[in-house]
Structure 1
Protein backbone atom coordinates (compact mmCIF):
# COMPACT_ATOMS: atom_id res chain seq x y z
CA UNK A 1 0.00 0.00 0.00
CA UNK A 2 1.44 3.33 -1.00
CA UNK A 3 0.45 5.93 1.56
CA UNK A 4 0.60 9.48 0.29
CA UNK A 5 0.65 12.48 2.55
CA UNK A 6 -1.48 15.22 1.08
CA UNK A 7 -0.71 18.81 1.93
CA UNK A 8 -2.23 21.93 0.55
CA UNK A 9 0.06 24.78 -0.42
CA UNK A 10 -0.57 27.98 1.54
CA UNK A 11 -0.63 30.92 -0.85
CA UNK A 12 0.93 34.01 0.66
CA UNK A 13 0.80 37.36 -1.11
CA UNK A 14 4.26 38.83 -0.73
CA UNK A 15 5.76 41.96 -2.20
CA UNK A 16 8.67 42.35 0.20
CA UNK A 17 11.85 43.66 -1.36
CA UNK A 18 14.91 41.46 -1.07
CA UNK A 19 18.04 43.56 -0.83
CA UNK A 20 20.40 40.75 -1.80
CA UNK A 21 20.48 37.07 -2.76
CA UNK A 22 19.66 33.83 -0.97
CA UNK A 23 17.23 30.90 -0.98
CA UNK A 24 15.80 27.80 0.75
CA UNK A 25 13.80 24.93 -0.61
CA UNK A 26 11.46 22.01 -0.15
CA UNK A 27 11.94 18.84 -2.20
CA UNK A 28 9.56 16.76 -4.20
CA UNK A 29 10.04 15.13 -7.58
CA UNK A 30 9.01 17.43 -10.39
CA UNK A 31 10.24 18.81 -13.68
CA UNK A 32 10.58 21.96 -15.70
CA UNK A 33 9.16 22.27 -19.21
CA UNK A 34 10.27 25.16 -21.41
CA UNK A 35 8.74 26.23 -24.66
CA UNK A 36 10.92 27.88 -27.27
CA UNK A 37 11.20 31.36 -25.74
CA UNK A 38 14.15 33.57 -26.60
CA UNK A 39 14.71 37.05 -25.27
CA UNK A 40 15.21 39.87 -27.74
CA UNK A 41 18.80 40.80 -28.33
CA UNK A 42 18.20 44.22 -26.76
CA UNK A 43 15.03 43.96 -24.63
CA UNK A 44 14.41 41.56 -21.76
CA UNK A 45 11.23 39.46 -22.14
CA UNK A 46 8.71 39.81 -19.29
CA UNK A 47 6.91 36.74 -17.89
CA UNK A 48 3.79 36.57 -15.75
CA UNK A 49 3.89 34.04 -12.90
CA UNK A 50 0.98 31.85 -11.82
CA UNK A 51 0.91 29.63 -8.73
CA UNK A 52 -1.81 26.96 -8.79
CA UNK A 53 -3.84 29.18 -11.12
CA UNK A 54 -3.45 32.34 -9.02
CA UNK A 55 -1.40 35.13 -10.56
CA UNK A 56 1.42 36.60 -8.47
CA UNK A 57 1.75 40.37 -8.36
CA UNK A 58 5.42 40.20 -9.35
CA UNK A 59 6.77 39.17 -12.74
CA UNK A 60 9.77 37.29 -14.06
CA UNK A 61 12.05 38.30 -16.90
CA UNK A 62 14.56 36.78 -19.31
CA UNK A 63 17.74 38.83 -19.83
CA UNK A 64 19.32 39.05 -23.25
CA UNK A 65 21.32 35.90 -23.93
CA UNK A 66 19.88 33.95 -20.99
CA UNK A 67 18.73 30.38 -21.67
CA UNK A 68 15.75 30.61 -19.30
CA UNK A 69 13.63 33.21 -17.48
CA UNK A 70 14.34 34.39 -13.94
CA UNK A 71 11.73 34.66 -11.16
CA UNK A 72 11.67 36.79 -7.98
CA UNK A 73 12.89 34.50 -5.23
CA UNK A 74 11.17 35.94 -2.17
CA UNK A 75 7.77 36.27 -3.82
CA UNK A 76 7.75 32.75 -5.27
CA UNK A 77 9.42 30.93 -2.36
CA UNK A 78 7.24 32.73 0.18
CA UNK A 79 4.08 31.82 -1.71
CA UNK A 80 5.24 28.19 -1.66
CA UNK A 81 5.54 28.28 2.13
CA UNK A 82 9.30 28.58 2.48
CA UNK A 83 11.02 30.67 5.13
CA UNK A 84 13.34 33.19 3.49
CA UNK A 85 16.00 34.98 5.56
CA UNK A 86 19.03 37.13 4.80
CA UNK A 87 22.27 35.74 6.28
CA UNK A 88 24.55 38.69 6.99
CA UNK A 89 27.51 36.45 7.80
CA UNK A 90 27.53 34.57 4.48
CA UNK A 91 26.05 37.43 2.41
CA UNK A 92 23.48 34.98 1.08
CA UNK A 93 19.81 34.15 1.51
CA UNK A 94 18.87 31.05 3.50
CA UNK A 95 15.66 29.26 2.66
CA UNK A 96 14.13 26.27 4.42
CA UNK A 97 11.00 24.18 4.65
CA UNK A 98 10.79 20.90 6.52
CA UNK A 99 14.04 18.95 6.06
CA UNK A 100 15.15 21.06 3.10
CA UNK A 101 17.68 23.84 3.46
CA UNK A 102 19.32 25.82 0.67
CA UNK A 103 21.22 29.04 0.15
CA UNK A 104 21.49 31.41 -2.80
CA UNK A 105 24.03 34.15 -3.43
CA UNK A 106 23.67 36.75 -6.16
CA UNK A 107 25.99 36.17 -9.12
CA UNK A 108 26.98 32.61 -8.13
CA UNK A 109 25.75 29.65 -10.19
CA UNK A 110 26.21 27.42 -7.15
CA UNK A 111 23.13 26.33 -5.25
CA UNK A 112 23.18 24.51 -1.92
CA UNK A 113 20.87 21.54 -1.35
CA UNK A 114 21.33 20.15 2.15
CA UNK A 115 25.13 20.69 2.16
CA UNK A 116 25.50 19.57 -1.47
CA UNK A 117 26.09 21.89 -4.42
CA UNK A 118 24.62 21.94 -7.90
CA UNK A 119 24.86 24.32 -10.86
CA UNK A 120 21.99 25.27 -13.14
CA UNK A 121 23.84 27.08 -15.92
CA UNK A 122 22.33 30.42 -14.85
CA UNK A 123 23.42 32.52 -11.89
CA UNK A 124 20.93 34.41 -9.69
CA UNK A 125 20.76 38.14 -10.34
CA UNK A 126 19.81 41.19 -8.27
CA UNK A 127 17.59 43.71 -10.02
CA UNK A 128 16.12 46.80 -8.38
CA UNK A 129 16.85 45.42 -4.92
CA UNK A 130 15.26 42.01 -5.55
CA UNK A 131 16.96 38.67 -6.01
CA UNK A 132 15.93 36.62 -9.07
CA UNK A 133 16.70 32.94 -9.64
CA UNK A 134 16.35 30.82 -12.82
CA UNK A 135 12.99 29.09 -13.27
CA UNK A 136 14.77 25.72 -13.12
CA UNK A 137 15.69 26.53 -9.50
CA UNK A 138 12.02 26.12 -8.59
CA UNK A 139 11.96 22.58 -9.99
CA UNK A 140 15.49 21.28 -9.37
CA UNK A 141 16.04 22.81 -5.93
CA UNK A 142 12.58 23.58 -4.55
CA UNK A 143 11.20 20.53 -6.37
CA UNK A 144 7.96 22.06 -7.58
CA UNK A 145 6.35 21.48 -10.99
CA UNK A 146 7.23 24.32 -13.38
CA UNK A 147 6.06 24.93 -16.95
CA UNK A 148 7.06 27.86 -19.15
CA UNK A 149 4.52 28.53 -21.90
CA UNK A 150 5.02 31.57 -24.06
CA UNK A 151 5.34 34.52 -21.68
CA UNK A 152 3.88 32.61 -18.71
CA UNK A 153 5.55 30.70 -15.91
CA UNK A 154 3.15 28.19 -14.36
CA UNK A 155 4.03 26.69 -10.95
CA UNK A 156 2.21 23.87 -9.18
CA UNK A 157 3.21 23.20 -5.55
CA UNK A 158 4.25 19.66 -4.72
CA UNK A 159 1.67 17.96 -2.54
CA UNK A 160 2.48 14.27 -2.54
CA UNK A 161 5.57 14.03 -0.38
CA UNK A 162 9.18 13.87 -1.44
CA UNK A 163 11.46 11.55 -3.39
CA UNK A 164 15.09 10.76 -2.52
CA UNK A 165 17.62 8.56 -4.31
CA UNK A 166 20.73 7.33 -2.53
CA UNK A 167 22.83 4.42 -1.35
CA UNK A 168 22.12 2.68 1.95
CA UNK A 169 24.98 3.20 4.41
CA UNK A 170 23.44 1.69 7.54
CA UNK A 171 20.38 -0.30 8.61
CA UNK A 172 18.68 -0.37 12.01
CA UNK A 173 16.46 -3.27 13.03
CA UNK A 174 16.04 -3.43 16.80
CA UNK A 175 13.37 -2.98 19.48
CA UNK A 176 10.52 -2.77 16.97
CA UNK A 177 12.31 0.07 15.17
CA UNK A 178 13.40 -0.29 11.55
CA UNK A 179 15.19 2.36 9.50
CA UNK A 180 17.70 2.86 6.70
CA UNK A 181 20.24 5.66 6.37
CA UNK A 182 21.09 7.00 2.89
CA UNK A 183 23.18 9.79 1.34
CA UNK A 184 25.97 9.73 3.89
CA UNK A 185 27.07 8.56 7.32
CA UNK A 186 26.95 10.11 10.78
CA UNK A 187 25.07 13.41 10.69
CA UNK A 188 24.96 13.51 6.88
CA UNK A 189 22.09 12.30 4.69
CA UNK A 190 18.64 11.27 5.83
CA UNK A 191 17.16 8.42 7.89
CA UNK A 192 14.07 6.72 6.48
CA UNK A 193 11.85 5.20 9.16
CA UNK A 194 10.16 2.00 8.00
CA UNK A 195 6.71 1.17 9.39
CA UNK A 196 4.07 -1.47 8.80
CA UNK A 197 2.62 0.57 5.91
CA UNK A 198 5.98 1.11 4.15
CA UNK A 199 6.10 -0.72 0.82
CA UNK A 200 9.43 -2.42 0.01
CA UNK A 201 9.85 -3.43 -3.63
CA UNK A 202 12.40 -4.27 -6.28
CA UNK A 203 12.68 -2.31 -9.50
CA UNK A 204 10.37 -4.79 -11.26
CA UNK A 205 7.69 -4.22 -8.61
CA UNK A 206 8.13 -7.51 -6.73
CA UNK A 207 7.95 -7.33 -2.94
CA UNK A 208 10.95 -7.33 -0.62
CA UNK A 209 11.30 -8.15 3.06
CA UNK A 210 13.13 -5.69 5.29
CA UNK A 211 15.86 -8.24 6.03
CA UNK A 212 16.65 -8.36 2.29
CA UNK A 213 17.88 -4.76 2.40
CA UNK A 214 21.59 -4.23 3.03
CA UNK A 215 24.23 -1.53 2.83
CA UNK A 216 25.43 -0.70 -0.66
CA UNK A 217 21.99 -0.92 -2.28
CA UNK A 218 20.90 2.08 -4.34
CA UNK A 219 17.29 2.93 -3.52
CA UNK A 220 14.61 5.44 -4.40
CA UNK A 221 12.42 6.40 -1.46
CA UNK A 222 9.10 8.23 -1.34
CA UNK A 223 8.72 9.79 2.08
CA UNK A 224 6.81 12.34 4.12
CA UNK A 225 7.18 16.11 3.75
CA UNK A 226 7.59 16.19 7.53
CA UNK A 227 10.89 15.32 9.21
CA UNK A 228 12.65 15.75 12.52
CA UNK A 229 15.12 18.59 13.08
CA UNK A 230 17.81 16.13 14.15
CA UNK A 231 21.04 15.51 12.26
CA UNK A 232 20.52 13.56 10.17
CA UNK A 233 16.80 14.30 9.81
CA UNK A 234 14.39 11.37 10.12
CA UNK A 235 11.19 10.95 8.14
CA UNK A 236 8.56 8.23 7.57
CA UNK A 237 9.07 6.28 4.32
CA UNK A 238 6.03 5.41 2.19
CA UNK A 239 7.88 3.26 -0.35
CA UNK A 240 11.47 2.07 -0.82
CA UNK A 241 12.42 0.76 -4.26
CA UNK A 242 15.74 -1.03 -4.79
CA UNK A 243 17.15 0.21 -8.11
CA UNK A 244 19.97 -2.33 -8.49
CA UNK A 245 19.10 -4.96 -11.09
CA UNK A 246 21.28 -7.46 -9.23
CA UNK A 247 22.83 -7.20 -5.82
CA UNK A 248 25.11 -9.55 -3.89
CA UNK A 249 23.88 -11.11 -0.67
CA UNK A 250 26.35 -9.05 1.34
CA UNK A 251 28.15 -5.77 0.86
CA UNK A 252 31.00 -4.52 3.03
CA UNK A 253 31.62 -0.79 3.09
CA UNK A 254 34.29 1.77 4.00
CA UNK A 255 33.60 5.51 4.11
CA UNK A 256 36.61 7.78 3.99
CA UNK A 257 39.19 9.53 1.83
CA UNK A 258 41.15 8.18 -1.12
CA UNK A 259 44.76 8.03 0.08
CA UNK A 260 46.27 6.72 -3.15
CA UNK A 261 45.33 5.87 -6.72
CA UNK A 262 47.36 2.89 -7.94
CA UNK A 263 47.72 1.96 -11.62
CA UNK A 264 49.00 -1.54 -12.38
CA UNK A 265 51.19 -2.51 -15.32
CA UNK A 266 48.17 -3.80 -17.23
CA UNK A 267 46.43 -0.43 -16.83
CA UNK A 268 43.93 -1.47 -14.16
CA UNK A 269 43.42 1.02 -11.33
CA UNK A 270 42.90 0.59 -7.60
CA UNK A 271 42.07 3.08 -4.85
CA UNK A 272 43.22 2.93 -1.24
CA UNK A 273 40.52 4.22 1.12
CA UNK A 274 41.10 5.08 4.77
CA UNK A 275 38.19 5.95 7.02
CA UNK A 276 35.40 4.20 8.90
CA UNK A 277 34.04 0.67 8.55
CA UNK A 278 30.29 0.57 7.88
CA UNK A 279 29.74 -2.88 9.38
CA UNK A 280 31.37 -5.43 11.66
CA UNK A 281 33.12 -7.25 8.83
CA UNK A 282 34.10 -4.07 6.96
CA UNK A 283 37.57 -2.49 7.03
CA UNK A 284 38.78 0.91 8.22
CA UNK A 285 41.34 0.84 5.41
CA UNK A 286 41.10 -1.14 2.21
CA UNK A 287 42.49 -1.25 -1.35
CA UNK A 288 39.78 -1.72 -3.98
CA UNK A 289 40.38 -2.71 -7.60
CA UNK A 290 38.23 -0.87 -10.15
CA UNK A 291 36.79 -3.04 -12.92
CA UNK A 292 34.42 -2.50 -15.83
CA UNK A 293 31.66 -3.85 -13.58
CA UNK A 294 32.35 -1.33 -10.78
CA UNK A 295 29.42 1.08 -10.40
CA UNK A 296 30.68 4.64 -9.79
CA UNK A 297 28.01 7.16 -8.77
CA UNK A 298 27.49 10.31 -6.72
CA UNK A 299 25.35 10.55 -3.59
CA UNK A 300 22.25 11.11 -5.75
CA UNK A 301 22.80 7.86 -7.65
CA UNK A 302 24.00 9.56 -10.85
CA UNK A 303 26.89 8.00 -12.78
CA UNK A 304 30.28 9.73 -12.55
CA UNK A 305 33.61 9.04 -14.23
CA UNK A 306 36.38 6.96 -12.66
CA UNK A 307 38.63 9.92 -13.48
CA UNK A 308 36.91 11.77 -10.62
CA UNK A 309 38.31 9.26 -8.11
CA UNK A 310 41.42 11.21 -7.20
CA UNK A 311 43.59 11.45 -4.10
CA UNK A 312 41.77 13.38 -1.37
CA UNK A 313 38.29 12.66 -2.72
CA UNK A 314 35.70 11.61 -0.14
CA UNK A 315 34.11 8.30 -1.11
CA UNK A 316 32.21 5.32 0.20
CA UNK A 317 33.54 2.06 -1.24
CA UNK A 318 31.42 -1.11 -1.24
CA UNK A 319 32.95 -4.53 -1.81
CA UNK A 320 32.43 -8.26 -1.22
CA UNK A 321 33.77 -10.12 1.84
CA UNK A 322 36.43 -11.82 -0.31
CA UNK A 323 39.60 -9.93 0.65
CA UNK A 324 43.30 -10.70 0.70
CA UNK A 325 45.10 -11.15 4.03
CA UNK A 326 47.47 -8.29 3.26
CA UNK A 327 47.57 -5.01 5.23
CA UNK A 328 45.54 -3.21 4.13
CA UNK A 329 43.44 -6.00 2.61
CA UNK A 330 42.65 -5.86 -1.11
CA UNK A 331 39.33 -6.58 -2.79
CA UNK A 332 37.23 -5.68 -5.81
CA UNK A 333 35.08 -2.54 -5.76
CA UNK A 334 31.44 -3.34 -6.49
CA UNK A 335 30.21 0.21 -6.04
CA UNK A 336 31.93 3.52 -5.23
CA UNK A 337 29.94 6.57 -4.14
CA UNK A 338 31.73 9.89 -4.69
CA UNK A 339 30.67 12.44 -2.09
CA UNK A 340 30.70 15.75 -3.96
CA UNK A 341 30.47 19.07 -2.12
Structure 2
Protein backbone atom coordinates (compact mmCIF):
# COMPACT_ATOMS: atom_id res chain seq x y z
CA UNK A 1 0.00 0.00 0.00
CA UNK A 2 1.17 3.52 -0.63
CA UNK A 3 0.03 7.12 -0.64
CA UNK A 4 0.80 9.48 -3.44
CA UNK A 5 1.40 13.14 -2.59
CA UNK A 6 1.80 16.11 -4.86
CA UNK A 7 3.59 19.39 -4.37
CA UNK A 8 1.84 22.49 -5.59
CA UNK A 9 3.85 25.36 -6.99
CA UNK A 10 2.46 28.64 -8.22
CA UNK A 11 4.14 30.83 -10.83
CA UNK A 12 2.72 34.30 -10.29
CA UNK A 13 3.16 37.42 -12.30
CA UNK A 14 2.21 40.19 -9.93
CA UNK A 15 1.26 40.05 -6.30
CA UNK A 16 0.86 37.16 -3.82
CA UNK A 17 -2.05 34.75 -4.16
CA UNK A 18 -4.84 34.17 -1.67
CA UNK A 19 -7.81 31.85 -2.10
CA UNK A 20 -11.35 33.04 -1.65
CA UNK A 21 -14.64 31.32 -2.38
CA UNK A 22 -16.46 34.59 -3.09
CA UNK A 23 -16.02 38.25 -2.42
CA UNK A 24 -18.12 38.51 0.72
CA UNK A 25 -17.92 41.34 3.20
CA UNK A 26 -19.48 40.18 6.46
CA UNK A 27 -22.11 40.41 7.60
CA UNK A 28 -23.77 41.35 4.28
CA UNK A 29 -22.85 41.23 0.60
CA UNK A 30 -21.78 44.53 -0.86
CA UNK A 31 -20.77 45.77 -4.26
CA UNK A 32 -17.02 46.03 -4.91
CA UNK A 33 -14.77 46.99 -7.81
CA UNK A 34 -12.35 44.26 -8.92
CA UNK A 35 -10.39 43.37 -12.06
CA UNK A 36 -9.69 40.21 -14.04
CA UNK A 37 -5.95 39.51 -14.16
CA UNK A 38 -5.14 37.17 -17.10
CA UNK A 39 -1.36 37.41 -16.57
CA UNK A 40 -1.17 35.02 -13.60
CA UNK A 41 -0.24 31.39 -14.33
CA UNK A 42 -0.28 28.31 -12.09
CA UNK A 43 1.64 25.02 -12.23
CA UNK A 44 1.35 21.72 -10.36
CA UNK A 45 4.53 19.62 -10.34
CA UNK A 46 5.72 21.63 -13.31
CA UNK A 47 2.52 21.05 -15.29
CA UNK A 48 0.23 23.95 -16.11
CA UNK A 49 -3.11 23.96 -14.28
CA UNK A 50 -6.11 26.29 -13.97
CA UNK A 51 -5.61 27.36 -17.58
CA UNK A 52 -9.29 28.24 -18.03
CA UNK A 53 -9.75 29.77 -14.57
CA UNK A 54 -10.20 33.53 -14.23
CA UNK A 55 -8.09 35.33 -11.60
CA UNK A 56 -9.66 38.36 -9.91
CA UNK A 57 -7.47 41.13 -8.45
CA UNK A 58 -8.86 43.13 -5.57
CA UNK A 59 -6.94 45.33 -3.12
CA UNK A 60 -3.58 43.83 -4.18
CA UNK A 61 -4.84 40.30 -3.59
CA UNK A 62 -5.67 37.67 -6.18
CA UNK A 63 -8.67 35.33 -6.04
CA UNK A 64 -9.39 32.12 -7.96
CA UNK A 65 -12.26 29.64 -7.90
CA UNK A 66 -11.68 27.29 -4.99
CA UNK A 67 -13.67 24.62 -6.84
CA UNK A 68 -11.24 24.76 -9.77
CA UNK A 69 -8.24 24.70 -7.43
CA UNK A 70 -9.64 21.78 -5.43
CA UNK A 71 -10.24 19.84 -8.63
CA UNK A 72 -6.63 20.43 -9.73
CA UNK A 73 -5.38 19.13 -6.36
CA UNK A 74 -7.64 16.08 -6.39
CA UNK A 75 -9.73 17.37 -3.48
CA UNK A 76 -13.48 17.16 -3.06
CA UNK A 77 -15.28 20.42 -2.34
CA UNK A 78 -18.78 21.17 -1.10
CA UNK A 79 -20.61 24.35 -0.06
CA UNK A 80 -23.43 24.42 2.46
CA UNK A 81 -24.68 27.02 4.96
CA UNK A 82 -21.92 29.49 4.02
CA UNK A 83 -19.30 26.83 4.75
CA UNK A 84 -16.89 25.50 2.16
CA UNK A 85 -15.66 21.98 2.97
CA UNK A 86 -12.57 20.43 1.39
CA UNK A 87 -12.01 16.69 1.69
CA UNK A 88 -8.65 15.10 0.93
CA UNK A 89 -8.64 11.81 -1.00
CA UNK A 90 -8.20 8.58 0.90
CA UNK A 91 -4.95 6.70 0.69
CA UNK A 92 -4.70 4.82 -2.59
CA UNK A 93 -4.69 1.13 -1.80
CA UNK A 94 -2.87 -1.10 -4.23
CA UNK A 95 -2.49 -4.87 -4.10
CA UNK A 96 0.89 -6.14 -5.30
CA UNK A 97 1.58 -9.60 -6.72
CA UNK A 98 5.41 -9.92 -6.84
CA UNK A 99 5.42 -12.71 -9.41
CA UNK A 100 2.85 -14.48 -11.55
CA UNK A 101 2.63 -16.40 -14.81
CA UNK A 102 0.37 -15.55 -17.73
CA UNK A 103 -2.03 -18.42 -18.41
CA UNK A 104 -4.04 -16.78 -21.18
CA UNK A 105 -4.32 -13.43 -23.00
CA UNK A 106 -7.88 -12.49 -24.01
CA UNK A 107 -7.45 -9.61 -26.46
CA UNK A 108 -11.14 -9.49 -27.41
CA UNK A 109 -12.16 -8.65 -23.84
CA UNK A 110 -8.93 -6.82 -22.83
CA UNK A 111 -8.12 -9.35 -20.11
CA UNK A 112 -5.08 -11.31 -18.94
CA UNK A 113 -5.45 -14.52 -16.92
CA UNK A 114 -2.60 -15.06 -14.45
CA UNK A 115 -1.52 -17.62 -11.84
CA UNK A 116 0.26 -16.07 -8.82
CA UNK A 117 3.54 -17.75 -7.89
CA UNK A 118 3.31 -20.54 -5.32
CA UNK A 119 -0.32 -21.42 -6.02
CA UNK A 120 -1.57 -24.68 -7.48
CA UNK A 121 -2.17 -24.50 -11.22
CA UNK A 122 -5.95 -24.83 -11.17
CA UNK A 123 -8.59 -22.35 -12.43
CA UNK A 124 -9.68 -21.77 -8.83
CA UNK A 125 -6.37 -19.98 -8.20
CA UNK A 126 -6.35 -17.93 -11.39
CA UNK A 127 -6.92 -14.17 -11.42
CA UNK A 128 -8.32 -12.22 -14.38
CA UNK A 129 -6.78 -8.77 -14.88
CA UNK A 130 -8.99 -6.23 -16.62
CA UNK A 131 -6.80 -3.98 -18.78
CA UNK A 132 -7.87 -0.40 -19.49
CA UNK A 133 -6.38 2.77 -20.99
CA UNK A 134 -4.69 3.65 -17.68
CA UNK A 135 -2.96 0.27 -17.25
CA UNK A 136 0.80 0.47 -17.85
CA UNK A 137 2.65 -2.54 -19.29
CA UNK A 138 6.46 -2.39 -19.24
CA UNK A 139 9.53 -4.48 -18.43
CA UNK A 140 12.40 -4.20 -15.96
CA UNK A 141 15.11 -3.84 -18.59
CA UNK A 142 13.96 -0.98 -20.81
CA UNK A 143 11.51 1.86 -21.14
CA UNK A 144 9.55 -0.03 -23.77
CA UNK A 145 5.80 0.08 -23.27
CA UNK A 146 3.98 -3.08 -24.30
CA UNK A 147 0.54 -3.55 -25.77
CA UNK A 148 -1.85 -6.26 -24.67
CA UNK A 149 -1.26 -8.07 -27.97
CA UNK A 150 2.46 -8.41 -27.16
CA UNK A 151 1.80 -10.40 -23.99
CA UNK A 152 2.08 -14.17 -24.38
CA UNK A 153 1.16 -17.24 -22.36
CA UNK A 154 4.01 -18.29 -20.07
CA UNK A 155 5.47 -14.83 -19.50
CA UNK A 156 6.36 -13.97 -15.89
CA UNK A 157 5.37 -10.62 -14.46
CA UNK A 158 4.55 -8.61 -11.37
CA UNK A 159 1.21 -6.86 -11.01
CA UNK A 160 -0.30 -3.96 -9.10
CA UNK A 161 -4.07 -4.15 -9.09
CA UNK A 162 -7.18 -2.81 -7.39
CA UNK A 163 -8.24 -4.34 -4.06
CA UNK A 164 -11.77 -4.59 -5.46
CA UNK A 165 -12.52 -7.98 -7.02
CA UNK A 166 -15.58 -9.68 -8.43
CA UNK A 167 -16.96 -12.72 -6.65
CA UNK A 168 -16.73 -14.83 -9.79
CA UNK A 169 -14.39 -17.78 -10.26
CA UNK A 170 -11.81 -16.83 -11.31
CA UNK A 171 -12.19 -13.35 -9.75
CA UNK A 172 -11.65 -10.25 -11.88
CA UNK A 173 -9.90 -7.01 -10.90
CA UNK A 174 -8.64 -3.83 -12.55
CA UNK A 175 -4.90 -3.86 -13.29
CA UNK A 176 -2.97 -0.66 -12.51
CA UNK A 177 0.43 -1.79 -13.80
CA UNK A 178 2.08 -4.89 -15.25
CA UNK A 179 5.86 -5.32 -15.20
CA UNK A 180 7.53 -8.10 -17.16
CA UNK A 181 10.22 -9.58 -14.92
CA UNK A 182 12.58 -10.93 -17.57
CA UNK A 183 13.12 -10.91 -21.28
CA UNK A 184 10.20 -13.05 -22.30
CA UNK A 185 10.41 -14.73 -25.66
CA UNK A 186 7.37 -16.66 -26.87
CA UNK A 187 7.92 -20.41 -26.81
CA UNK A 188 7.67 -22.12 -30.17
CA UNK A 189 5.75 -25.37 -29.82
CA UNK A 190 6.07 -27.97 -32.54
CA UNK A 191 3.21 -30.20 -33.61
CA UNK A 192 4.87 -33.13 -31.82
CA UNK A 193 4.79 -31.23 -28.52
CA UNK A 194 1.09 -30.38 -28.65
CA UNK A 195 -0.86 -32.92 -26.56
CA UNK A 196 -3.77 -34.45 -28.43
CA UNK A 197 -5.66 -35.82 -25.44
CA UNK A 198 -5.69 -36.25 -21.67
CA UNK A 199 -6.86 -39.29 -19.71
CA UNK A 200 -9.08 -38.70 -16.67
CA UNK A 201 -8.96 -41.97 -14.73
CA UNK A 202 -11.00 -43.28 -11.77
CA UNK A 203 -13.76 -40.74 -12.16
CA UNK A 204 -17.21 -41.06 -10.62
CA UNK A 205 -20.21 -39.72 -12.52
CA UNK A 206 -21.91 -37.12 -10.31
CA UNK A 207 -24.81 -36.14 -12.58
CA UNK A 208 -26.02 -36.58 -16.16
CA UNK A 209 -27.83 -34.11 -18.42
CA UNK A 210 -28.90 -36.13 -21.44
CA UNK A 211 -30.78 -33.23 -23.06
CA UNK A 212 -27.65 -31.05 -23.14
CA UNK A 213 -25.23 -33.91 -23.94
CA UNK A 214 -22.99 -33.61 -20.92
CA UNK A 215 -22.28 -35.22 -17.56
CA UNK A 216 -20.28 -34.16 -14.51
CA UNK A 217 -17.46 -36.22 -13.02
CA UNK A 218 -15.26 -36.01 -9.93
CA UNK A 219 -12.23 -38.07 -8.85
CA UNK A 220 -13.04 -41.16 -6.80
CA UNK A 221 -12.54 -40.65 -3.07
CA UNK A 222 -12.98 -36.85 -2.93
CA UNK A 223 -16.00 -34.66 -2.24
CA UNK A 224 -18.32 -35.18 -5.18
CA UNK A 225 -20.29 -31.99 -4.53
CA UNK A 226 -17.34 -29.58 -4.47
CA UNK A 227 -17.25 -27.69 -7.82
CA UNK A 228 -13.47 -27.44 -7.51
CA UNK A 229 -13.28 -31.24 -7.81
CA UNK A 230 -15.72 -31.52 -10.69
CA UNK A 231 -15.30 -31.48 -14.46
CA UNK A 232 -18.11 -31.07 -16.99
CA UNK A 233 -17.69 -33.59 -19.80
CA UNK A 234 -19.45 -32.79 -23.06
CA UNK A 235 -19.89 -35.47 -25.70
CA UNK A 236 -20.99 -35.60 -29.33
CA UNK A 237 -21.89 -38.14 -32.01
CA UNK A 238 -18.16 -38.61 -32.60
CA UNK A 239 -17.45 -39.64 -28.98
CA UNK A 240 -16.61 -43.33 -28.60
CA UNK A 241 -18.25 -45.41 -25.86
CA UNK A 242 -16.20 -48.44 -24.76
CA UNK A 243 -14.19 -48.15 -28.00
CA UNK A 244 -17.35 -48.31 -30.12
CA UNK A 245 -18.95 -45.57 -32.20
CA UNK A 246 -22.60 -44.62 -32.65
CA UNK A 247 -23.49 -45.53 -29.06
CA UNK A 248 -26.32 -44.02 -27.02
CA UNK A 249 -24.02 -42.53 -24.41
CA UNK A 250 -26.65 -41.00 -22.13
CA UNK A 251 -28.46 -44.32 -21.69
CA UNK A 252 -25.17 -46.19 -21.20
CA UNK A 253 -24.18 -44.14 -18.15
CA UNK A 254 -25.59 -43.89 -14.64
CA UNK A 255 -24.82 -41.65 -11.70
CA UNK A 256 -22.15 -43.33 -9.58
CA UNK A 257 -20.50 -45.19 -12.48
CA UNK A 258 -16.71 -45.30 -12.45
CA UNK A 259 -15.28 -44.20 -15.79
CA UNK A 260 -12.09 -43.27 -17.59
CA UNK A 261 -12.55 -40.37 -19.99
CA UNK A 262 -10.22 -39.46 -22.83
CA UNK A 263 -10.67 -35.71 -23.39
CA UNK A 264 -9.25 -33.14 -25.76
CA UNK A 265 -6.40 -30.87 -24.60
CA UNK A 266 -8.58 -27.77 -24.20
CA UNK A 267 -10.49 -26.85 -21.03
CA UNK A 268 -12.52 -23.74 -20.26
CA UNK A 269 -11.53 -21.44 -17.38
CA UNK A 270 -14.90 -21.86 -15.71
CA UNK A 271 -15.52 -23.62 -12.41
CA UNK A 272 -16.06 -26.50 -13.02
CA UNK A 273 -14.00 -26.58 -16.23
CA UNK A 274 -15.61 -28.03 -19.34
CA UNK A 275 -13.90 -30.53 -21.66
CA UNK A 276 -14.89 -32.50 -24.76
CA UNK A 277 -14.90 -36.30 -24.49
CA UNK A 278 -13.15 -38.25 -27.23
CA UNK A 279 -13.81 -41.64 -25.63
CA UNK A 280 -15.59 -42.89 -22.51
CA UNK A 281 -14.76 -46.23 -20.91
CA UNK A 282 -16.84 -47.83 -18.17
CA UNK A 283 -14.65 -49.38 -15.48
CA UNK A 284 -15.58 -52.76 -14.01
TM-score exceeds 0.5: no
> In terms of Rg, which structure is larger?
2
Q: Which has the higher strand share?
A: 1
Q: TM-score w.r.t. structure 1 length?
A: 0.27
Q: TM-score w.r.t. structure 2 length?
A: 0.32
